[in-house]
Each structure stands twice: as C-alpha cells, then as structure tokens.
Amino acid sequence: MFNNERYEWMSELNVGVTFVTWFFLSFSLFVLFIGLIVNYFVAWRGKSEKTYQELFDELNSDNGYSDIKMVKLKKGLRMPFRNYRPVIKEYYVKPWELEKQNLSATINLFFNYTLIIETREGNSKFRRSLWWMTGFHILALLLGLTSIIMVTATPYGLDDVTLGWIDFWLQVVNYCALGLILISWISLSFIFESLGKQMTEMAIHYLPDKEYKKLKLIVNLYAFFPLMKNPYLITRL
C-alpha cells in the first residue's frame, strides 16, 4: 500500500505504525456500524411495551406496588486502572410481564434498568467514566482520520526538511490515536462487564433458565465488543 514512490518520505517505522492505526480505525468503525444494526433490531424493532420514559418515571416514584421483589446486588465498578470497593446494595425491583416480551425487549429493558439504577444512586463516577471513555474513543477516531488526511494530502515533491516534520507529526498522531483507542476500548469493556454482571444478577430472578443463558451470552458479547452497544447506551444517561 505504501510502496508507491509518493510515500517514500515515510520512515519504515511510521509505515508500520500507520498501517496498525488504520487497521484499528477500520475495525472500530466496522464494529460501530455493526452496533448500529444490532441496536436497531434489539433496541427499536424489539422495543418493549413499556416505553423508557414510563419505565424511568415508574422506577423513580413511590408507586406502592405490592409485587415488588427485593434483590441484593454487589455493586462496584471495575476499571483497569482503579477498582472501586464493591458495596452490597438493596434494590427494590418490580417484575415485568416478561412472558409477553421477546428476548431482545427483555435485554433492552434490563440494560436500561441497570443504567437507571446507576443514575438513581447518583454514581457520578460511573457516568463520568462512560462519558470520558466514549469521548476518548471519538477523539481517537478523529486522530485516525487526521492520519489518513496527512498521508493522502501531502503534496509530492516537498523538500526533505518539511517531509521530515510531516513524518514526525504523523508518528505523534498515530501513537496518540492508538493509545486512545486501546485505553477507551479496554475501559469500556470493564464498564460494560460491570453493567452485565448487575444485569444478570437481576435477570436470574425473572427469566427461565433457557432465556437466562441467551441473555448472559449476549451480555458477554456486548462486554467484549463494547462499542456495539455504546452508541445507544450513551444516549440513555
């Protein structure tokens, strides 16, 4: 790809770093695209009978339901650079008529319910971490785009000094993009693993074994590829 004489100004190290950066950039965009498709079918086509605003209002009001069940959760946000001390919290969970909903609607409800629990408890660390890491990833994608523009838009025939400076700054952009992609990806995975654990701890009280195993499998998939769910979840905070 970079064997053309037009790119002779790039050092061998920079060629390798640029290729890796572009690979991760393409992979991230691919996962984001897949995530939008998944979210369409899971979040919108399979939307539950209860709207999210109704769910939020219900959970934040003392509605006096008698069929509310108490569930204990070990609450603690795991991060790669810092572990928050887990605390046992008691939540009052109202069972929904899950037999009337398909699996995608159930998954969607549990994701949103878990987020509502986080916001109700005022866990600003969780929300701040999610926003920061999403911001880092967006910045990484912008830096990756800058790298592409620097390589493709550099005019042919510039003097060696100018090309040397372009090569240097291209390396800086590539390293920053790679670092931000890896940090945000790993951190978002930890965040979604934490969300998934809370989801499955609640879901086991309401779902039959077969449906519970399906839900757990999908939750683990979201934790491994966090960006598949992140574009949708970030709008719900």
Containing structural domain, residue 24: 5-236
What is the rounded average pLDDT of the residues 86-102? 45
CA dihedral 192, 198, 201, 207 (to 10 degrees): -70
Distance CA 200, CA 206 (A): 10
CA dist., res. 173 & res. 150, Å (int): 10
> Do residues 88 and 26 make contact, with C-beta atoms less than 8 angstroms apart?
no
Q: Give the number of domains in the chain.
A: 1
Q: What is the mean pLDDT of residues 43-64?
A: 49
The pLDDT value recorded for residue 206 is 62
Mean pLDDT of 82-93: 44
Q: Which of 21-30, 72-81, 83-92 is modeled with the greatest confidence?
A: 21-30
For 205-228, the pLDDT digits (tens) are 666 777 777 777 767 666 666 555
